């Protein structure tokens, strides 16, 4: 049922890692957050398929990384054009698109610029324009990346993302295995992080024509919960769900998150 596959696409701008799993008739595309700058989805088909196995029967799921080599100054809109090219290469149209954090920023642009590609849209723990909280966090992460402080990035992300219960577990893992997965270069991460600060699709959110679900955490310490509220108010056909007591990592912590996304995406 999982049919997990790792793949590489050669699009005009470069090579893109992606994974595919599931056997459903409906197509669901997932775009991960800025952590993709530290590690792409290369080789991750089986772990993703197992984590999201409840989607595998009803959906064929694709997860796309940003291209392997990013140009300095790239924007989230540029990354959306890469995503559009990757989807063209696989013949994907009218998909359910789920974007998390920076992936949600990229997803906004794809839905705005290429509405034929997106049938239903889920924007999770993301924002439409910069705010002071996000700017401070990204500046901190870029500074750590410039110093090569991989463990610092991971610990700071965890502290800002998870509930106290989950954080205790995560801290122990990072202290024990903090350098596992360390990239050879932080260039991709710095470029992706900088693109978050310049992202501003707010004035064009009313161009999103597909049904949209915005999911946020009231305790989000990276993009803030208010960012979800203001997006939902701006997008015409939009529903909003806010989790109490959870923050930026709600997509890992909330036990009903995957079912909530699935229920929305399988609606006609």
Mean pLDDT for the stretch of residues 107-121: 98
Q: How confident is the model at residue 174 (pLDDT cuts 50, 70, 90)?
A: low
- Predicted confidence at residue 228, as pLDDT, reads 98
The crossing angle, in degrees rounded to 10, of helices 102-113 and 187-198 is: 60
Residue 1: pLDDT over 60: no
Other Cβ atoms less than 10 A from the Cβ of 61: the count is 27
Cα-to-chain-centroid distance, residue 174: 21
Mean pLDDT for the stretch of residues 209-237: 98
pLDDT single digits (tens) 126-173: 999 999 999 999 999 999 999 999 989 988 998 999 988 888 777 677
- Predicted confidence at residue 169, as pLDDT, reads 75
Domain architecture of the chain: domains with CATH: 5-265 (3.40.50.1820)
Q: How confident is the model at residue 80 (pLDDT cuts 50, 70, 90)?
A: very high
- Predicted confidence at residue 6, as pLDDT, reads 97
CA atoms of 268 and 262, how far apart (whole Å): 12
Residue 179: pLDDT over 70: no
pLDDT single digits (tens) 63-77: 999 999 999 999 999
Three-state DSSP at 208 gives coil
H or E stretch covering 62: strand 59-64
């Amino acid at each position: 049922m999982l049919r997990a596959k790792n793949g590489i696409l050669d699009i005009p701008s470069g090579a893109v890692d992606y994974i595919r799993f599931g056997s459903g008739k409906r197509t669901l595309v997932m775009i991960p957050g800025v952590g993709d700058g530290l590690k792409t989805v290369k080789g991750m088909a089986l772990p993703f398929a197992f984590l999201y196995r409840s989607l595998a029967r009803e959906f064929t799921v694709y997860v796309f990384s940003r291209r392997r080599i990013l140009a300095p100054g790239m924007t989230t809109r540029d990354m959306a054009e890469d995503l559009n090219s990757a989807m063209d290469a696989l013949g994907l149209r009218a998909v359910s698109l789920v974007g998390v954090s920076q992936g949600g920023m990229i997803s906004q642009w794809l839905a705005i610029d290429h509405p034929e590609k997106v049938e239903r849209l889920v924007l999770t723990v993301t924002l439409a324009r910069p705010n002071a909280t996000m700017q401070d966090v990204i500046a901190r992460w870029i500074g750590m990346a410039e110093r090569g402080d991989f463990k610092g990035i991971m610990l700071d992300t965890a502290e800002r993302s998870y509930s106290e219960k989950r954080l205790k577990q995560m801290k122990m893992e990072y202290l024990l295995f903090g350098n596992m997965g360390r990239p050879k270069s932080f260039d991709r991460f710095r470029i992706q992080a900088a693109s978050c600060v310049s992202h501003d699709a707010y004035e064009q959110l009313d161009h999103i024509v597909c049904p949209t679900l915005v999911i946020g955490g009231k305790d989000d310490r990276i993009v803030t919960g208010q960012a979800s509220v203001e997006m939902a108010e701006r997008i015409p056909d939009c529903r909003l769900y806010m989790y109490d007591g959870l923050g930026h990592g709600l997509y890992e912590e909330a036990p009903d998150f995957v079912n909530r996304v699935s229920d929305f995406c399988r609606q006609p």
